[in-house]
Structure 1
Amino acid sequence: MTDTQLHPRPRLTRQRWFDLCGTWDFAYDDDNVGLDDRWFDQPDRFDRQIQVPYPPESELSGVNDKGFHPVVWYRRTFSVEPVQGERLILHFGAVDYRAHVWVNGQLVATHEGGHTPFSADITNCLVDGAQVVVVRAEDQPLDGTMPRGKQDWEATPHAIWYDRTTGIWQPVWLEPVPATYITAFHLTPDLTRNAVTVDARLNHGHQGWLSVTLRKGDELLAVQQVQVGKETIETSITIPRAKNGQRRNDLYWSPENPNIITVAVALLSDDGAPVDTVQSYFGLRSAGIGGGRFLLNDRPYFVRSVLEQGFWPTSHLAAPSADALREEVELIKALGFNACRIHQKVEDPRFLYWADHLGLLVWGEMANAYEFSPAAVDRFTREWLSVVERDRSNPCIVTWVPINESWGVEDIARNPAQQAYASALYHLTKALDPTRP
């Protein structure tokens, strides 16, 4: 657990969390026999070590093997002291591409999608003594239906493509939570009403209250309490100070003035006792198009943007450190840009945190597949909707880019199915997030 390290999920934080990055046992499974041979129960199968969250193809992983290894396994032990009434959640920021996770020999999670987070409640799997977590990751380098972005399918990178990233490439961590807890929390600003819409979700139904407190620095902006009777909660909070048109500029978010409004959230019982508490934040801003121009906070805004590739020489998709993500945002701004387009990857949430707090507009993009087929449509659509769900409350993101050029839809000019697919992605994105152009 750390108080100084930036949380791997900065928009929904609790005070207590435990970092599982670092040294893990590791093994290649080139013959794909690990599932049948139950490697999740066999520690002697792991013949080397790796530094998580760096992919094995990278230098910082300590493995630095850029060959084709479609199936890899990870293993590590950890210790916890269970607290009566708490649950323990195991989180993965991203595992490329398909993951199976076991804790103490029990399968706790499966996930497909190399850029999106997933988690598992492992409370019922805990044993006395050391706990064992095992991860199997499968990433077929020649499968063009998987969203892979600029990861090369050839043995060595050529032309505009980069080295591959296999397996874990974003943080792994543990989070103790109460029996009833907040699983998701989104904030959508509305400048026309001087308000923000709160959308909270719980792991199960609850009878009680949700209290939300908004602050800018030390200034209290608003407090609202709403009754809770089910798993989903939606309410709108008016910010009285924003009604004064002469005082809005120091509330609105922009690259020049990245004003952050912090949010303290408390889930309460019927009698007002605290059940769960989380911290979040948002920026009061709007993004749109009018008169052929981009509008920020309903005013024309000139965008000076750079293409942010987000591939690192020694760590590939993974950033070499948490500090490197902040330094990347600082460098973009120091060069005179006020925006970046993330190119063919879904960026680490900590990058978006710094873009939010330091003031950088972001075009949120998705890694594309190379082929068009029913499998490619299914895989991409499911992962893309998870991306929008994860990032739609970040004020830095002002537009979405599901498809780069014609990647994965090379025949879109004459293929009705590909045209329908692109149109469907547009409308699905707008259904989840109608606030961005």
Structure 2
Amino acid sequence: MGLSWKKALSVAAMLLCGMSARAQRPAGAGEVDATVHAADAPFTENTTVLEGADRRPQTSLDGEWRSIVDPYFAGLYSFHHEIKKDGWFKDQRWGGVGDNRLFEYDFAKSPTLHVPGDWNTQRDSLFFYEGALWYQRDVEWTPVAGKRVFLHVGSANYKSWFWVNGEKVCQHEGGFTTFDCEVTAQLKAGANSIVAAVNNQRLPDGVPTLETDWWNYGGLTRSVALVEVPESYIAGYDLHVDRATRTKIEGWVQVVGAKAGERVSVSLPELKAGATATVGADGRAAVSFAPRGLELWAPGAPKLYKVDLMAGKDAIHEEMGFKTIETRGTEILLNGKPIFLRGICIHAEAPLRTGRVNSEKDVDTLLGWAQELGANYVRLAHYPHDEKMTRAADRMGLLVWSEIPTYWAIAFDNPAVLAKAKQQLHEEIARDRNKASIGLWSIANETPSTPARTQFLTALAAEVRLLDRERLVTAALLVRGVGEHEKVVDDPLGAALDVVGMNEYIGWYEGKPETADTMHWTIKYDKPVIVSEFGGEGKAGLHGAATDRWTEEYEAAIYQHQLPMLAKIPQVRGLSPWILMDFRAPYRQLPGMQDYFNRKGLISDQGQKKAAFGVLQKAYLGGYGKAD
């Protein structure tokens, strides 16, 4: 349902409410390498990442779910804030007058919300809502002998709890990463009730924390499904081409429930190549083979292969590309050759209808605009996007900067927050490490330069390298001004990065567009630099002089002065200006201009291309940059 923002603004913003659940140690959460173990995750319980879940047989749970808004979280907690034994997760139904049992809820008589979807844009009264909301759906199920079943959740923002037939199956913290919880024992033949509670309340110890410059869309924002696997199943895999020769495919396959010595096979039918290996005591089998005629994936030539992974009764039929990405001095090398990344930042804001991206149409529109712009790279900000985005980037040939929301002033001195950030890294990388499009894992955006922050993020950089040595580590850093005409990039975090990202807003937050003409840059690192953000706001259809702020002409002038300035910085190997499309943001309130939208998009939320789009498109299609 569309949302009239004027009507929504008449609704009082709901106060943050409800207390988060007491920290609990999860039980049995770590079957695969990508899962955070019990001691590391104070809230997340009984979840894993079932890699390749979107390539497995699924029963979709998308559609209409019954919903109850619960600002005091009375459905889970008593007035003494104790977890109820007969909470709303029991999904009891009131029989009407004559049924004298005490009920204060009934999902069957409650309104619906569509899943996937944020609640904010589906119902005007929920536009500003931050708190708990319950979902319920009936499911008919026929168990199959020898099969295990997982509840697959694309994302639930921010904390979520799940029950099947009144029994709790898992809980999860993190609003943008995919997770799975096993429900084999809880599902029964015939009718079943699945209940979820989702709370998008912002938290001081959350990742992200209290302040973000994007809308806090709540709910089951991506698809939900039931996924079946054999009793012994492939839980994870990592296949990549080696950097030394770029002809050999190597990696591993992790099998849950396999005995040491059981066989695993990986094959590329198109090349009539593959390998078999045996599972070790840790459930992992190392694979390596050198197919003849292997074509590498690259923007402009996004070659993908069908890849079959087999282990016992389990099989996953993947679609994968193979590439190498590395650095040499200040160069970024793709498949051994220098590349300049002509890119754009993208938020997961749905074009035209607004709200959170959750459909193939949303994805095709956004990435289609990026290609029309002439981009070979996209920065998916500021959190992991829907898997549909990375799958589409694989097919379309767009390199991806993928980021977790360690954003602004995270509680860097809190070990529990570091554990949450690591959990999100694990979940992000487990889902997407086999996507050819992923080139850079970003660990932060615009964080304050303090010793605690640098230690925290250095630990995250090390964690990335433990999980995936085949991609580059980056972060979007702030720059330092020295007087009016010099900028310095010397953030100590740069020492932990492979590629230094930097955000700057000359012409918008400081100076005028022409200030860029006389700016001198000093980069303290002999590493490649990506200008991860620059730009300014302009309202689509508002015209005037290039000196008039908020006009399309002013926004275009920023680009006209920025592009020559950035071309003079020797270390710059890529750009991703801010941003492809206007997006909702609570900071942006100027009536008639912003109306709760950040207007830095090259395209409006309704698809109108602004003058700045043409400026950047001309530069990109004209070969802006130093390589490729």
TM score, norm. by length of structure 1: 0.84
Distance in structure 2 (CA, Å) of the matches to 1:32 and 1:86? 35
Distance in structure 2 (CA, Å) of the matches to 1:287 and 1:169? 32
Residue matched to 2:57? 16
Shift of 1:348: 0.8
Query: Could you give the per-residue CA deviations for residues 221-259 of structure 1, whole angstroms, max 9, x where no partner exists?
Result: 4121222354532323322315xxxxx6xx011011001
Shift of 1:418: 1.7
For residue 330 of structure 1, give the secondary structure of its aligned residue in structure 2.
helix
Match for 1:212: what amino acid? V
Distance in structure 1 (CA, Å) of the matches to 2:280 and 2:442? 37
Shift of 1:191: 4.0
Structure 1 residues 348 and 202: CA distance shift in structure 2, 3 A = same
- Determine which of 138, 143, 146 is the counterpart of 2:206: 146
Shift of 1:199: 2.0
Residue matched to 1:226? 277
Asked whether the equivalents of residues 51 and 235 of structure 2 are also in contact (C-alpha less than 8 Å), the reply is no
Match for 2:113: what amino acid? I
Structure 1 residues 420 and 335: CA distance shift in structure 2, 3 A = same
Residue matched to 1:72? 133
Distance in structure 2 (CA, Å) of the matches to 1:371 and 1:69? 19
Match runs of 1:153-232 below 5 Å: 161-193=213-245, 194-206=247-259, 208-215=262-269, 219-230=270-281, 232=283
Distance in structure 2 (CA, Å) of the matches to 1:436 and 1:323? 28
Distance in structure 1 (CA, Å) of the matches to 2:296 and 2:230? 35
TM score, norm. by length of structure 2: 0.60
For residue 96 of structure 1, give the secondary structure of its aligned residue in structure 2.
coil
- Determine which of 285, 302, 305 is the counterpart of 2:340: 302
Query: Could you give the per-residue CA deviations for residues 72-113 of structure 1, whole angstroms, max 9, x where no partner exists?
Result: 111001112212222222111111111111000111111111
Distance in structure 1 (CA, Å) of the matches to 2:168 and 2:443? 32
For residue 148 of structure 1, give the secondary structure of its aligned residue in structure 2.
coil
- Where does structure 2 lack aligned partners over 5 or more consecutive residues? 1-48, 77-83, 93-104, 473-628
Residue matched to 1:318? 357
Match for 1:367: what amino acid? P
TM superposition outliers: structure 1 runs of 4+ over 4 Å: 8-15
Shift of 1:165: 1.3
Structure 1 residues 81 and 323: CA distance shift in structure 2, 3 A = same
Asked whether the equivalents of residues 50 and 235 of structure 2 are also in contact (C-alpha less than 8 Å), the reply is no
Residue matched to 1:157? none
Residue matched to 2:456? 421
Match for 2:204: what amino acid? G
Match for 2:437: what amino acid? C
Stretch of structure 1 that moved more, 370-379 or 325-334: 370-379
Distance in structure 1 (CA, Å) of the matches to 2:464 and 2:184? 35
Query: Does 2:394 align with 1:356?
Result: yes
Structure with the greater relative contact order (CA < 8 A, sep ≥ 6): 1 or 2?
A: 1
Residue matched to 1:52? 115
Distance in structure 2 (CA, Å) of the matches to 1:308 and 1:192? 33
For residue 292 of structure 2, give the secondary structure of its aligned residue in structure 1.
helix
Structure 1 residues 15 and 111: CA distance shift in structure 2, 3 A = closer
Stretch of structure 1 that moved more, 204-213 or 354-363: 204-213
Distance in structure 2 (CA, Å) of the matches to 1:430 and 1:226? 25
Asked whether the equivalents of residues 402 and 442 of structure 2 are also in contact (C-alpha less than 8 Å), the reply is yes
Distance in structure 1 (CA, Å) of the matches to 2:147 and 2:452? 49
Instruction: Output the aligned Cα RMSD.
Output: 2.3
Asked whether the equivalents of residues 152 and 163 of structure 1 are also in contact (C-alpha less than 8 Å), the reply is no
Residue matched to 1:255? 299
Distance in structure 1 (CA, Å) of the matches to 2:218 and 2:224? 15
Distance in structure 2 (CA, Å) of the matches to 1:172 and 1:93? 6
Fraction of identical pairs, as percent: 26
Structure 1 residues 347 and 276: CA distance shift in structure 2, 3 A = same
Residue matched to 1:431? 466
- Determine which of 374, 377, 383 is the counterpart of 1:339: 377
Q: How many residues align?
A: 396
